[in-house]
Amino acid sequence: MGTMKNVLLSNDDGIESRGIWALKEHFEEHFNVFVVAPDRERSATGHSISLHDPIRLKVVEEDRVFAVNGTPVDAVHLALHGVVKEKIDVVVTGINMGLNLGTDVFYSGTISAASQAKVLSIPAVAVSIDVSSRPVHYETAAYVARRVVEKIDEKKVESGIILSVNVPNLEIHEIEGIEITRLGKRFYNDRLIEREDPKRNKYYWIEGAHAHDILDEGTDVKAVHERRVSITPLRFDITAGDYIDTLKQWNFNDLIEE
């Protein structure tokens, strides 16, 4: 074991998710492991944080495992601001029940929980696995996650970078390799389902079924499709730097001139 000793685990699938317990089982052979996660599923909550309601904490294992009634970001925030008494060296989120590829990263609570760690200057890895078939090989994703953390410990990672790791649902010996990728493109068929309650008040369900992927070379989408683990470095400065000069030419000062 290198310089990293204390690992915080969190997720967006909830404290009872098989994925987070697979991580705990795998990591605690090599690290001091702490778990702070939502008390129920909080998928697709993005970077939401609770500001108008209290966040309640339930102790699952004394000083080690906690459930919170908030979002994934709440869980990491609480853990790193005092719920966990030890100094955390790295945060690992997941194992997400489903891939986080392409634009999924903007909705994913798993990715956002990792990004909250980076806000606080702590290395972070978000791990997701394909669950479109059964059984789900959580042990494969847990093994890959640990090896990625060991590599971070050896090589270090630039401040502000989150590693998004997507794992095919295969046994470890079936994995075709590991590829460093960029975000690809996934498309969904979104629709709004309108209904009425018994008092004739309208309510809605938002439904989004996965439609298809674009298998561009070098993307996370293609790598996983071809049975490889995808590791995508994410940085959440989404400024369109190449468009700044264009906007400067629009002369926005006109808007405040008399």
Closest CA to 72 of 120, 21, 115, 19: 115
- Which are the contacts of 84, defined by CB distance < 8 A and separation ≥ 6? 6, 8, 34, 36
Q: Helices (DSSP H) in the chain: which residue ranges?
A: 18-27, 72-78, 109-119, 138-155, 220-225, 244-248
Q: Helices (DSSP H) in 120-213: which residue ranges?
A: 138-155
pLDDT digits (tens, 9 = 90+) for 221-250: 999 999 999 999 999 888 999 999 999 999
pLDDT digits (tens, 9 = 90+) for 61-102: 999 999 999 999 999 999 999 999 999 999 999 999 999 999
pTM of the entire structure?
0.93
CA 245/CA 83 separation, integer angstroms: 45
Closest CA to 21 of 138, 148, 170: 138
Quick one: pLDDT at residue 258? Answer: 63
**Domain 6-185+214-256 coded CATH 1.10.510.10:** no
Q: How confident is the model at residue 255 (pLDDT cuts 50, 70, 90)?
A: confident
Pull the structure tokens for residue 221: 């989408």
pLDDT digits (tens, 9 = 90+) for 152-182: 999 998 888 999 999 999 999 999 999 999 9
Quick one: pLDDT at residue 188? Answer: 87
Name the residue ranges covered by the structural domains of the chain. 6-185+214-256
Residue 71 near residue 49, CB atoms below 8 Å: yes
Quick one: pLDDT at residue 1? Answer: 54
pLDDT of residue 42 exceeding 90: yes
pLDDT digits (tens, 9 = 90+) for 176-223: 999 999 999 998 888 899 999 999 999 999 887 787 899 999 999 999
Quick one: pLDDT at residue 207? Answer: 85
Quick one: pLDDT at residue 158? Answer: 87
pLDDT of residue 43 exceeding 90: yes
pLDDT digits (tens, 9 = 90+) for 132-156: 999 999 999 999 999 999 999 999 9
DSSP 132: S
